[in-house]
Amino acid sequence: MPNQSLTSPKADILVIDDTPENLNLLSAMLTEQGYKVRSVTKGSTGLRGANAVPPDLILLDVNMPQMNGYEVCQQLKINDRTREIPVIFISALGDVLDKVKAFAVGGVDYITKPFQLEEVLARIENHLMIRQLQKQLQAQNERLQQEIRDRTKAEEKFAKVFRSSPNPIAIATVAEACFIDVNPSFLKMSGYSPEEVIEHTFAELDLGKDTVAITQIIQCLPDIGSIYNQEFEFSTKSGEVKTTLISIELIDLAGVPCALLIANDITERKRLENEFISLVSHELRTPLTSTMGALDLLGAGQLGTLTAQGQKILSIATNNTERLIRLVNDILDLERMKSGKIFMRKAKCNVAELLITATEAMQAMADKLQVKLIVNPLAIEIWADPDRLLQTLTNLLSNAIKFSEAGDTVWISATLSESQGVESEENHHFCTKDSSLPNYLLITIQDQGRGIPEDKLQIIFERFQQVDASDSRNKGGTGLGLAICRNIVQQHHGKIWVESVLGEGSTFYVILPLISSKST
């Protein structure tokens, strides 16, 4: 037999029997089978041993002096440390009443002497297995109870935050976009009562022109994940329009996919921001125009000849003034677009002519920076505002050229695309495919420049966002060009995005629906 001392015992068994022959026989048999065996001849000694180091199983004789097996078992079962230990009685008493009493005091089995070794082993293994399964079940139940306690605590904490949050919060089902709960802040902002909101859908409440957009985002959450700080207009019960930043998370409530919406009312902030931008922009434009005129007079020599140092300073002043004028114009342009004061003057446009015109307009800049421009036009017509699309293309080409090195190449091309990922007029997001949608025009502007970090890919289309803070100074940008491009593309019901690899270059994509008639 292998040396059992070198391996862990299968189980720890305590044998309590006042007959030494039985103890020796059982000890030898169980030790040979890989069990650790402790043998005692008195019930009181067995109780102390079981309490000190609880065994995995106890073999217990019935007829013993001073304390019989029934009394020992009763003491084991009233002790928390030994209550769960399985007890198998081994006794010469074979009467039914003896067996019934053994089970009544807590025994799990009863073996009649003289016993068969195989029977004893089989019953020991069976009850050890049952005990092991009981332990596993008990541990699992304890884990489940702890999870329930943790979840209950988390739910209580969430409920407290949900109710007391100053931010409007709502929970809606994903499938129907139906409200199932809202907090007091939501009710205060919207002007509705709980009964008017709960169990009603966004469409039924008609919360403004972005209702359809929010509904579609909620229903697309399983595909698109979460969205953060997206600007939407929100119409209250009284008809007041509020501007909100909304974040939407996918959550699970009792197995039901739901959307958690957290809003931030920025109506007043937007009003002040718009007033400030409008005031500053208009107040700056007039003096800047006068300053530029004065600088032109100096540069033309009409006020005297400047020294070389004077010409250098004049050049710096002219460049900075031109940059400020571009900034003011871009701010006004963007704000007018966002407020709807600039309308797209759409007409039939030849895509090939637009790409060629944009390339020709940027050729001088490309030649100056020794960048090669390659255009791959597509002869197809779309319904669009040619001036605004040309503004978008020249802006994208300008960026590509500025961030390229001498000897690099910039490509602009157009192809047809079957992509369905285009925003609708009512929806600022997208996620579903619709075979009824028409084909699309895909314009790409690719460069070999420095590339864009991954964490900047989404925010560079926001106002005043640039890859590097020094770009405004070194490259002459305003930080508004891409925001204007995005606005123009969105007003054409299209989408603009960028893919980039640091050190290898960037590719900007503009996708537009092929709308062939003005009515469309």
Does some domain include residue 144? no
Residue 500 has pLDDT above 80, yes or no: yes
Residue 129 belongs to domain with CATH number: 3.40.50.2300
Q: 472: pLDDT confidence band, cut at 50, 70 and 90?
A: very low
Indicate the angle between helix axes 386-402 and 351-368, nearest 10 degrees. Answer: 30
219, 242, 265 — which closes off a domain?
265
pLDDT attached to residue 101: 92
Query: Which of 423, 427, 425 is CA-nearest to residue 495?
Result: 423
Does some domain include residue 218? yes
Does some domain include residue 364? yes
Residue 428 has pLDDT above 60, yes or no: no
pLDDT tens by residue, 39-71: 999 999 999 999 999 999 999 999 888 899 999
Burial of 261 (0-12, 13-18, 19+ CB in 10 A): buried
235, 265, 295 — which closes off a domain?
265
pLDDT attached to residue 479: 64
Does some domain include residue 384? yes
Mean pLDDT over 133-148 rounds to 90
Residues 221 and 331 reside in one and the same domain: no
Does some domain include residue 391? yes
Domain count of the fold of the chain: 4
Which two structure tokens, joined as six digits, stand for 321?
């003034």
Mean pLDDT over 236-252 rounds to 89
pLDDT attached to residue 520: 36
Alpha helices in 35-116 (DSSP H): 43-52, 69-77, 96-104
What is the rounded distance in angstroms from the CA atom of residue 216 to the CA atom of residue 296?
54
Residues 295 and 414 reside in one and the same domain: no
Does some domain include residue 158? no
Q: 291: pLDDT confidence band, cut at 50, 70 and 90?
A: confident
Rg (CA), the chain: 41
Residue 273 has pLDDT above 80, yes or no: no
Task: Decide if 237 contacts 190 (C-beta within 8 A).
Answer: yes
Does some domain include residue 112? yes
More confident of the two residues 458 and 92: 92
Residues 128 and 82 reside in one and the same domain: yes
pLDDT attached to residue 295: 83
pLDDT attached to residue 359: 92
Q: At a CB cut-off of 8 Å and minimum separation 6, what does 68 contact?
A: 43, 62
Residues 209 and 332 reside in one and the same domain: no
Residue 391 belongs to domain with CATH number: 3.30.565.10
Q: Residues of the chain with pLDDT > 90: what percent? A: 35
Residues 371 and 508 reside in one and the same domain: yes
Does some domain include residue 321? yes
pLDDT attached to residue 433: 40
Q: How many CA atoms lie within 13 A of 132 on its CB side?
A: 9
215, 247, 265 — which closes off a domain?
265
Residue 157 has pLDDT above 50, yes or no: yes
Q: 339: pLDDT confidence band, cut at 50, 70 and 90?
A: low
What is the rounded distance in angstroms from the CA atom of residue 365 to the CA atom of residue 412?
15
Residues 396 and 508 reside in one and the same domain: yes
pTM more than 0.85: no
Burial of 184 (0-12, 13-18, 19+ CB in 10 A): middle
Residue 214 belongs to domain with CATH number: 3.30.450.20
Mean pLDDT over 398-417 rounds to 91
Residues 38 and 99 reside in one and the same domain: yes
What's the chain's average pLDDT?
Answer: 83
Residues 129 and 196 reside in one and the same domain: no
Residues 324 and 376 reside in one and the same domain: no
Residue 214 has pLDDT above 80, yes or no: yes
Residues 293 and 260 reside in one and the same domain: no
Which two structure tokens, joined as six digits, stand for 104?
């009544």
Q: Which domain holds residue 90?
A: 4-137
pLDDT attached to residue 281: 65
**Cβ burial 374-405 (10 Å sphere, 16+ → b, else e):** ebebbeeebbbbbebbbbbbbbbbbbbbbbbe
SS (H, E, C) 117-141: HHHHHHHHHHHHHHHHHHHHHHHHH
Residues 331 and 391 reside in one and the same domain: no
Residues 397 and 496 reside in one and the same domain: yes
123-137, 222-236, 239-253, 276-290, range with the lowest pLDDT: 276-290
